[in-house]
Amino acid sequence: GAVVSQHPSRVICKSGTSVKIECRSLDFQATTMFWYRQFPKQSLMLMATSNEGSKATYEQGVEKDKFLINHASLTLSTLTVTSAHPEDSSFYICSARATGRRGSSPLHFGNGTRLTVT
Amino acid sequence: EDQVTQSPEALRLQEGESSSLNCSYTVSGLRGLFWYRQDPGKGPEFLFTLYSAGEEKEKERLKATLTKKESFLHITAPKPEDSATYLCAVQRETSGSRLTFGEGTQLTVNP
């Protein structure tokens, strides 16, 4: 149980284009999902908290107009990297916790999306 | 500000050579400390949650312990398939589900 599916696993795009990454909770509902970014040999940095039916909450320093988050249902959140540049190349990972579980229940992570902007 | 420091950064072991990974943390009001395993190009895989000092949890060759300042992940008689990056994360009582991660320890177990 508690499977989080992320798609695509890899994407290469040209500078200036936009890329959408999907995060789905397959066997549970998730009111809240989280989007992380990870650079090589570094830890996960929280980018934003995605809330079903409302606006996402972004961490300090993360441009909300560049990283658009939509959480339209209890099982799907999307991250769109708009007008991508080479410095946006990174490993993006989503996570979720089952709705109704207590606050200290573990987050379950997707397998990440490797974005390369050329 | 919450801080999580993991050591060592990298660790090489021979198969069967037991060792421990350290996670030192500073957090105001710990709700939980989490250990994850991450394989290259994959998302983190949940291992353990520890809630209070003195708590211990085991899973196969892994045992996690917690004090008020640090957590240890003990690996007994490791196998090559235990090679991965091990991440420690803390959750504050007032931060909802947000986690603060350490930099990780990259473990390599040689056959």
Span A16-35, pLDDT tens digits: 999 999 999 998 888 889 99
Chain A nearest-CA distance from B14, in A, is 22
Does the pLDDT of residue A85 top 70, yes or no? Answer: yes
Higher pLDDT, A112 or A1: A112
For residues A99 and A105, what is the distance between their CA atoms, to the nearest angstrom?
10
The answer to whether A112 contacts B96, with C-beta atoms less than 8 Å apart, is no
Instruction: Give backbone dihedrals phi and psi of A59, rounded to 5 degrees, phi first.
Output: -75, 160
Q: Please report which helix (H) or strand (E) contains residue A19, including its range.
A: strand A19-25
**Least confident residue range of A23-32, A60-69, B43-52:** A23-32
Tokens of B79: 């196998």
Give the pLDDT confidence of A35-45 residue by residue, as tens digits.
999 988 888 99
For residues B111 and B101, what is the distance between their CA atoms, to the nearest angstrom?
30
For residues A46 and A57, what is the distance between their CA atoms, to the nearest angstrom?
11
Residues 96-115 of A with CB under 8 A from B: 97, 103-112, 114
For residues A38 and A112, what is the distance between their CA atoms, to the nearest angstrom?
9
Chain A residues lying within 8 Å of B36, measured CB to CB: 109
pLDDT number for residue A72? 83
Instruction: Give backbone dihedrals phi and psi of B25, rounded to 5 degrees, phi first.
Output: -140, 155
Stretch B30-58: mean pLDDT = 94
Does the pLDDT of residue A100 top 80, yes or no? Answer: no
